[in-house]
């Protein structure tokens, strides 16, 4: 039985680690981008970004000042038991988020969309977000905390309900246009991890795009060869846009392109794009049934 207090402390620690550390796969991808860039300004942007991320991580300082949207992705097994029931997850996320905000690991960026009132603790309808899914027959919890920056969400989100006749060519054009529009002038802090959702309903399509950007190790190809081929085509096209880090001239405005798909209506072809900024913040924690907790920057 997993206790509420354990979940609160784990969510808090995971969010703080995510806000102050560069995930190892993201750092490796940035290093590769640096090796590939030839434009002096593009290289300088990457060098400074890596230096800042490493220095802030060593001192438990924010790896980026915009801590954005507080998101938690939770996976439970069929035998997972939580004292007080699964509703505790949302209570724990609120408590963890309020504490992380009070201690300045998260900036108070969540406001009422109409009045623009700011409660100062990142709490309110829909925030923090907790997405729960069940997988396997385990008895623990897997938690990924992701403070998703505002730039990638505001300027790097695109959606279109296309016609089935648009086919793969239409998907590719829409996606590369979205990447260009988002990376131009550095609006989404490139080089970015681009998630693309294809299929499902409108909301599921958007969810797939966000999960593709946040929850897959950088540059791990999709297991379906056809989907992986689309990822490769788009990545190659992105490198030919002439855009580099922070929107200057270069080749690496994109670190990776991840595509996820879902079955959809025979008359529909929904496509969504969602970007994760260059620091790629997310940290993972696991809680065993006996309350043991571990943390890692690696994704499963």
Q: Report the residue count for the chain.
A: 300
Q: So what's the pLDDT on residue 59?
A: 59
- Residue 119 above 80 pLDDT? yes
| CATH code of residue 94 | 3.30.360
- Residue 61 above 90 pLDDT? no
Same-domain check for residues 115 and 235: no
- Confidence band for 57, pLDDT divided at 50, 70 and 90: low
Same-domain check for residues 209 and 113: no
d(CA 48, CA 55): 10
d(CA 131, CA 81): 17
Q: What number is the average pLDDT over the span 170-195?
A: 95
Tell me whether the omega of the peptide bond preceding residue 128 falls within 30 degrees of 0, making it cis.
yes
Question: Domain for residue 51, yes or no?
Answer: no
Question: Domain for residue 31, yes or no?
Answer: no
Q: So what's the pLDDT on residue 55?
A: 73
Same-domain check for residues 181 and 98: no
Q: So what's the pLDDT on residue 105?
A: 96
Same-domain check for residues 144 and 156: no
Q: So what's the pLDDT on residue 234?
A: 98
- Residue 51 above 90 pLDDT? no
Question: Domain for residue 53, yes or no?
Answer: no
How far is the CA of 181 from the CAs of 21, 176, 231, 243, in angstroms? 28, 9, 18, 11
How far is the CA of 237 from the CAs of 26, 126, 275, in angstroms? 21, 36, 16
Q: What number is the average pLDDT over the span 53-71?
A: 81
Q: Has this prediction a pTM greater than 0.85?
A: yes
H/E/C letters for each residue in 88-125?
HHHHHHHHHHHHHHHCCCCCCCCCCCCCCCCCCCCCEC
Q: So what's the pLDDT on residue 293?
A: 98
In contact, 141 and 286? CB cutoff 8 Å? yes
Which among 209, 255, 276, 206 has a CA at the least distance from the CA of 64? 276
Same-domain check for residues 109 and 134: yes
Name which of 14-28, 43-57, 245-259 the model is least confident about: 43-57
Same-domain check for residues 265 and 284: no
- Residue 9 above 70 pLDDT? yes
d(CA 255, CA 111): 31
Question: Domain for residue 214, yes or no?
Answer: yes
Burial of 46 (0-12, 13-18, 19+ CB in 10 A): buried
d(CA 10, CA 141): 10
Question: Domain for residue 28, yes or no?
Answer: no
- Residue 56 above 90 pLDDT? no
The number of distinct structural domains making up the chain is 2
Q: What number is the average pLDDT over the span 286-292?
A: 97
Q: So what's the pLDDT on residue 58?
A: 60
Range of the domain at 259: 151-276
Buried b / exposed e over 241-256, threshold 16 CB at 10 Å, is: bebbbbbbebbbbbbb
Same-domain check for residues 137 and 286: yes
Q: What number is the average pLDDT over the span 261-280?
A: 97
Q: What number is the average pLDDT over the span 21-38?
A: 94
Same-domain check for residues 260 and 250: yes
Q: So what's the pLDDT on residue 225?
A: 98
Q: What number is the average pLDDT over the span 192-210?
A: 98
Same-domain check for residues 166 and 225: yes
Question: Domain for residue 17, yes or no?
Answer: yes
Give percent above pLDDT 90 in the chain: 93
Tens digit of pLDDT for each residue in 131-165?
999 999 999 999 999 999 999 999 999 999 999 99
Question: Domain for residue 285, yes or no?
Answer: yes
Q: So what's the pLDDT on residue 53?
A: 77
Collapse the DSSP code of 231 into the 3-class scheme (helix H, G, I; strand E, B; otherwise coil) and give the result.
helix
CA dihedral 112, 156, 216, 174 (to 10 degrees): 130
Question: Domain for residue 105, yes or no?
Answer: yes
Same-domain check for residues 181 and 104: no
- Residue 101 above 90 pLDDT? yes
d(CA 161, CA 100): 38
Same-domain check for residues 14 and 104: yes
Same-domain check for residues 122 and 16: yes
Q: So what's the pLDDT on residue 185?
A: 86
């Amino acid at each position: 039985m997993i206790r509420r207090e354990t979940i609160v402390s784990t969510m808090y620690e995971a969010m703080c680690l995510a806000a102050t550390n560069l995930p190892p796969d993201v750092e490796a991808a940035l290093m590769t981008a640096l090796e590939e860039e030839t434009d002096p300004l593009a290289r300088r942007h990457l060098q400074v970004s890596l230096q800042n991320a490493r220095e802030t991580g060593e001192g438990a300082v924010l790896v980026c000042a915009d801590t954005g949207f507080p998101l938690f992705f939770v996976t439970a097994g069929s035998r997972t038991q939580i004292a007080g029931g699964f509703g505790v997850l949302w209570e724990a996320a609120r408590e963890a988020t309020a504490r992380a905000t009070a201690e300045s690991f998260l900036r108070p960026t969540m406001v009422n969309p109409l009045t623009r009132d700011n409660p100062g603790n990142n709490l309110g309808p829909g925030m923090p977000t907790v997405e729960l899914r069940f997988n396997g027959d385990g008895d623990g919890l897997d938690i990924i905390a992701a403070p998703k920056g505002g730039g990638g969400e505001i300027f790097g989100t695109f959606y279109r309900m296309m016609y089935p006749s648009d086919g793969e060519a239409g998907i590719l054009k829409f996606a590369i246009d979205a990447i260009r529009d988002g990376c131009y002038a550095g609006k989404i802090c490139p080089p970015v991890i681009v998630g693309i959702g294809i299929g499902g309903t409108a909301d599921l399509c958007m969810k797939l795009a966000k999960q593709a950007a946040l929850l897959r190790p950088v540059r791990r190809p999709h297991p379906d060869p056809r989907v992986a081929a689309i990822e490769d085509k788009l990545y190659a096209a992105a490198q030919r846009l002439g855009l580099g880090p922070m929107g200057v001239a270069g080749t690496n405005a994109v670190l990776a392109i991840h595509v996820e798909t879902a079955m959809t209506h025979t008359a529909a072809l929904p496509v969504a794009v969602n970007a994760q900024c260059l620091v790629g913040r997310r940290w993972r924690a696991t809680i065993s049934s006996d309350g043991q907790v571990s943390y890692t920057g690696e994704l499963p």
